[in-house]
Amino acid sequence: MITLLNGDTWNETEILTQMYSDDFYYGHLGKHALSSSSLKMLLKSPKTYRNVTLYGSDDTAALSEGRLAHLMILEPHKLDKMIFVDASTKNTNIYKDAKKKHEQVYLMKERNTAERLADAVLRNEAALRLLSKSEFEVPAIQMIEGLAFRGKADIIQEDTIIDLKTSADLSTFRYSADKYSYDLQAWLYLKLFNKNKFVFLVVDKASTDIGIFDVSDEFLARGEQKFRQAIDNYKYFFQEENDLDQYVMRGIL
């Protein structure tokens, strides 16, 4: 059985079926189950986790671009549900009017950028081998240390999880992997999906160069360490209900 953070219980098969719905996965479970994204927030700032859970969060431009590129490559059929407007920025009236009527609205120039990145991936033989005979956007949920954790693997190929990323600079991806705690995501996903190998498939947003990065045991060990720290923060502030307003980040400069 899966017990969500709000106390609701689900049969695992039933909840997995529901998790193919984006509204359920990102909406309901976004509030009532932990994920690699929420753990990253708990690491960086427990207050941010609280605020996003209560009030939601506006996507950054980078997240929006990355999501659109994912759809172009892995779920192109979902593009039919999106609205694209030919406007210079999201501050224009044409974009704001479309946003009032539709949930998912993008600029045409965002679509053009995503198409360029998707084309680069789909033309690359090494990338295509990672996409071949694979499953896309596969959900999983498990109880870990008494807490419900959700995840959605971009690509699963036999015993390997493949995560698709976009990067502003492929040459600094190792730095980005630490900065954005991709090590934590890799460790958690291997546990959630019971797989043995994790690979990052990365496309450079400027050059469209393709990068393929395996992960080391040391990388995964750092991810597990971050997982433990984030869980400690969650339990201290949200289960034991210690005063989050007293949270202080300390250091020496």
pLDDT tens-digit series, residues 206-224:
999 999 999 999 999 999 9
SS3 content of the chain, % helix, strand, coil (to 5): 55, 20, 25
Indicate the domain borders of the chain: 2-59+125-246
β-strand partners of 147:
144
**What pLDDT is attached to residue 67?**
85
- Which token pair is 182? 């991709």
pTM of the model: 0.90
Residue 60 is classified by DSSP as: P
N-term to C-term CA, the chain: 47
| SS3 of residue 48 by DSSP | helix
Residues 230, 45: Cα–Cα separation, whole Å: 10
Q: Which helix (H) or strand (E) holds 117?
A: helix 108-123
How far is Cα of residue 138 from the mean position of the Cα atoms in its chain? Answer: 13
Q: What fold, for 2-59+125-246? A: Lambda Exonuclease; Chain A (3.90.320)
Residues 196, 165: Cα–Cα separation, whole Å: 20
**What pLDDT is attached to residue 183?**
97
**What pLDDT is attached to residue 61?**
59
Q: Spell out, as residue ranges, where the chain has pLDDT lower than 50.
A: none
Q: Which helix (H) or strand (E) holds 13?
A: helix 12-18
